[in-house]
Amino acid sequence: SLQDDLPTEYVTSWKTLAYRNMTKLVPHGTVCAGPDAESQRWIMVRCWQGIWKDAADPTTTRQSLKRKRKRSGASSGQTEHVKMLHYRCENRCDTGWWHYCQNMCWINRRKDVPPTINCPSINDFTVEFGKQDVRVTWRKPSAHDEEDGNVIPRQTAGPEIGSYQEDGNYLVAYEAKDSKGNTAYCSVSFNVYASHCPNPDSNSLYFLHHGTVNCTKSNLVGSVCFFYCDANYELKGHKSSRCLQDETWSSPNKPDCVALRCSAPPFLENIIIKACPEPFEIGAICHVECLPSYQLVGDHMTCKLDRKWSTVECIDVTRPAIKCPNSMNQTIQDKTSKVSVRFKLESIVDDSSTHVTTNYLSGQAFGLGRYVVIFTAKDKFGNEAKCAFNLTFDVLTCPVLNPRFASVSCNDSHYVWSYCSIKCTFGSNDNSDQVVNMQCQIDSTWTNKLPNCN
């Protein structure tokens, strides 16, 4: 029936109405309904490669329609479109899609069918000894579509033909798409086999705590694996291992990465170690403090990459305490004489070694005058303290001569052994020409007596 032959994807807008005295080109595959020219029966015909065929059996040609098509003036060689006469409507319908009383044609939009794709069969491959990969190849797939003909498939996954692949399982996938977007898919898998040593796992040669393993060809035969330790760790054992032809490792015992450590913290002067947990690995910290009167320079001691402890220091921040001797006075015989005097600090107290200096040396010879002796004490941390005392040296003298009505002339003041001349001044009762010479003795007395100048 007409209803049964309705296209599965029929849409009202696809209907093409043909009116009396009108002709229309229709595309290949179009199904038309209309009265037969001879029997006047309502029939279904299909345009097939330029010829009207029975809609149900495209192998049967509808000659009556064909003749009428020719009488319309269409070329018999036409392949894509045909021209047909349209007929008066003799039947009426009132339901379904067939509710017009004109001849109707529509494209038979059959349900889209994707192309047929033929995937290739791919054999497994074996990697040659000493090599890491193998060239893989296979025939290309083919695809055919009922309407579009041959379709070129497109690869969507997996390695390409002619590529080199290592040991493993691979999946190759293709798709073929026709002009209407209908797509067919296929896939095929294959394996690449290679001789290799045991696969890496947590107990194998590959796994290294606190380290890494770099291999030239993974775990394939001929591969060499090199062992490296993380920062702050050192390698104990062999540095590399080779995968042998018998699929065993040349060094079955894997090495270890051992944490770098410092020796026990050293004894440091004036420092007390408070907390220093073992083991003394790189980065370990020891907390310290200083003895009284000392100040810590640095926060703590740290085990460094060179396995040595960082340095800290407790410095003395207290000045030395020193005490000088009392000041001293001493008399010498004359002003040209010198006397040797010995002296020293009475006391010095400091928390660290101290260096003492003075501007005058003990045992040095001193002459007439007053001397200020300064002691300076400085410890190794630069703390400094000073003290001072006086050394005074006087010469023996006689009483100052100051006679009345007389003049005094001395060669060296009134020091011991000095000479003085006393002469009465003019107009005194005494003989003004008289001169008295006097000398200061060691006992601080003058020889002779002063003249009596009145």
Domains of the chain: residue spans and CATH: 12-107 (no CATH), 116-193 (2.60.40.10), 211-259 (2.10.70.10), 271-316 (2.10.70.10), 321-395 (2.60.40.10), 396-454 (2.10.70.10)
Q: Please state the pTM of the whole predicted model.
A: 0.38
Which residues have C-beta within 8 Å of that of residue 15, sequence separation ≥ 6? Answer: 97, 100, 104, 106
Asked whether the CA dihedral 158, 161, 162, 167 is positive or negative, the reply is positive
Residue 430 has what pLDDT? 56
Residue 30 has what pLDDT? 65
Residue 124 has what pLDDT? 95
Distance of CA 365 to the CA centre of its chain: 74
- The Cα 410–Cα 419 span in angstroms is 5
Strands 183-193 and 125-126: parallel
The residues with which 77 forms a beta bridge, in sequence order, are: none
Asked whether the CA dihedral 267, 268, 273, 276 is positive or negative, the reply is negative
The helix (H) or strand (E) run that includes residue 433 is none
The secondary structure of residue 269, as a DSSP letter, is: T
Please give the chain's pLDDT, 454 residues, in tens.
344 444 443 333 334 434 334 445 555 666 666 666 666 666 777 767 667 777 666 556 554 443 333 333 333 333 333 333 332 333 333 333 333 333 445 444 445 688 999 999 999 999 887 788 899 999 999 999 888 889 999 999 999 999 999 888 999 999 999 888 899 999 999 999 988 888 655 556 667 889 998 888 878 888 898 999 998 899 999 999 988 888 888 887 888 999 889 998 888 888 888 888 888 888 899 999 998 888 888 889 999 988 899 988 888 888 889 999 999 998 887 778 889 999 998 888 877 778 899 999 999 999 889 999 999 999 888 889 999 999 999 888 899 998 888 889 999 888 888 899 998 886 665 556 778 999 999 888 999 888 888 7
Instruction: Tokens 């001349």: give the residue.
Output: 421
Residue 177 has what pLDDT? 92
Which residues have C-beta within 8 Å of that of residue 98, sequence separation ≥ 6? Answer: 2, 3, 33, 104
Burial class of 214 by CB neighbour count within 10 A (0 to 12, 13 to 18, 19+) = exposed
Instruction: Tokens 């017009």: give the residue.
Output: 100
3-state secondary structure 41-61: CEEEEEEECCEEEECCCCCCE
Residue 352 has what pLDDT? 73
Residue 390 has what pLDDT? 95
- The Cα 435–Cα 422 span in angstroms is 6
